[in-house]
A and B are shown apart, each in its own frame.
Chain A
Amino acid sequence: MLTVVKNIKNQLKVSFLTVKYALIREMINKTTFLTNITFMILNDASFILQWIVLYALKDNVGGYTFNQVLLLWGIAAGTYGFSHFFFESAFNLSDTINNGKLDAFLVQPKNVLISTITMSISASAIGDLAYAYIMLFVFGFTIKNFLLFTLFCFTGSLIIVSIAIILGSLSFWFNKSDVIADTGNSLLTNFATYPDGIFKGITKILFYTILPLGYVAYMPVQILSSFNIKLFILVISITIMFITLAVITFYRGLRRYSSSNLMIART
């Protein structure tokens, strides 16, 4: 037991250092770094205009008030921010597998999956995170809301990273599956910013099954608006289920991996 705890501690330390050095690398050019973050905040904020126009036509869109839509955007931005800041490489997993770049991680004495998905960060994701918390302030800042919001942004990011790993791992079995992975990832981002109430029938069912946006964004908005312990437990359970599925899929696929003898310098 003690060894397991020690291993987890070690792995977390290595992952933290990887992210830290990736961030330092991004900060070498300070102007570009700050411009990327600022413009990402402006980029996200531009969509508020869309909702101002729509709410001028109707008080309620898909069962959401204007503030709830802002919260939905906050959670979507936070989810995107956390996932792309900590696990950017999960979204390029197909490329890593197809081009034999996994070799470098297989020989390291650390967890292959975690090392693979934490090898790079996206600096502009910091802008998404900043925007997410601005939206939380607009919705209503309390310590409880802050903790729940942060937790849901993190569970949401773990769900979408898990899906990215599952879709990316298809490359162990099929060629050209990067197209499926890219499409799946963009599907999640596109739908997550619109209230689920505007959709009907099969689309709504998809949100709680193969496109689990219900647990990433919609249920967290419901819980933050009015706390519900059952929904809270459901979100946590679904997150654990997706992580488990992703780990199983990746390691099943890894058995089929064969090196391409790629020689590259990783700096």
Chain B
Amino acid sequence: MRKYLYIFKSEVMTNMQYIFNLLVGFISYFILIFIFLNLWKYIYSDSNELINGYNMNQMIWYVIITEILWMSLGGRKLCRKICEDVRGGNIAYNINKPYSYIGYILSSHLGSVVVKGSIFTILGMLLGLIFLGKFPHLTLFSIIIVLITSLLATIINTLFVIFIGLFSFIIEDANPFWWLYSKVILVFGTLFPIEYFPGIIKTILSYSPIYAVSYGPAKLFVDFSIPNMVNVIIVQIIYLIIIYVLCLLIYRKGVRKLNVNGG
């Protein structure tokens, strides 16, 4: 475990050197929140009106939180890196190292997400305050729970991206699967809470990874309750175990048929 912590710390230190780049990345985040602020202001004729159980402020805070989780993930870059590692044969250098490739990728990626996520959280909160004037009802306990569930959501999401990237063992380029995954998360998980979807879709989403990686932490931020908290944490733990096992299986299967032409 100490070696992964060391990898994580090194990545944090490296990313601290590129704060300017992260601030530039925040511009895209700002644009997106600005668009959604305008969109929801148009949809809600009165800011206190409830649509599917959410008022206007809650809807905008929901998008602020889900977009922090999503945009700080940097999934496209990670997926591309894993695809290139597999296709280019770089992965062979990791096989004989005294660590697991999945553990290495996970800890090093979390190092960059933590730096980016912290900056996006501070700026996202400021943005929400400037646009909306107030936070939803929060307590110290609920803030701690939101932080814990956000961290779990990021770990699960990273493992999903690793799983998709490792698909390169089977098909040459797994990037298209990443596009599809990202759009599913974006449309079903970040733009609207699952209460916005009709009957059967809502039920499916309640059991899907979206509940664990996106909806859960954001729902707890805008409308905290103990039963919700218990549900979110249980679902996250289940998904964490499932996706980690899936990553291990695809990695072991892929490594067995790995052929590298040295040079």
Contacts and interface: CB of A to CB of B under 8 A. Distances in A.
Interface of A: 29, 31-32, 35-36, 38-40, 42-43, 46-47, 49-50, 53-54, 57-58, 61-62, 179, 183, 186-187, 190-191, 194, 197-200, 203
Nearest to B172: A32
A42 B180 contact: yes
Contact of B43 (A35, A61, A190, A203): A61
Contacts of A35: 171, 173, 176
A46 B39 contact: no
A194 B39 contact: yes
A190 B180 contact: no
The 3 A-B pairs with the shortest beta carbon distances in the complex, nearest first, are: A39-B176, A46-B183, A198-B42
Interface in B204-233: none
Contacts of B51: 57
B183 A42 contact: yes
B187 A50 contact: yes
Contacts of A29: 172
Contacts of A62: 42
A29 B179 CA distance: 19
Interface in B166-214: 171-173, 175-177, 179-180, 183-184, 186-188, 191-192, 196-197
A190 B196 contact: no
B3 to A, nearest CB: 35
A58 B35 contact: no
Contacts of A40: 179
Interface in B9-56: 24, 27-28, 31-32, 34-35, 38-39, 41-43, 51
Given A38-B176, A42-B183, A186-B28, 15 more contacts: A42-B180, A46-B184, A46-B186, A47-B183, A47-B187, A61-B42, A62-B42, A183-B27, A186-B31, A191-B31, A194-B39, A197-B42, A198-B41, A199-B38, A203-B38
Contact of B38 (A49, A50, A198): A198
A190 B39 contact: no
A62 B42 CA distance: 7
Contact of A43 (B31, B35, B43, B180): B180
B43 A50 contact: no
Contacts of B41: 198
Nearest to A194: B35
Contacts of B31: 186-187, 190-191
A53 B177 CA distance: 24
A57 B31 CA distance: 23
A190 B35 contact: yes
Contacts of B177: 39
Contacts of A42: 179-180, 183
A252 to B, nearest CB: 26
A127 B162 CA distance: 26
A42 B187 CA distance: 12
12 contacts: A31-B171, A35-B173, A36-B173, A39-B176, A42-B179, A46-B186, A58-B43, A183-B24, A186-B28, A190-B28, A194-B38, A200-B38
B58 to A, nearest CB: 15
Nearest to A176: B20
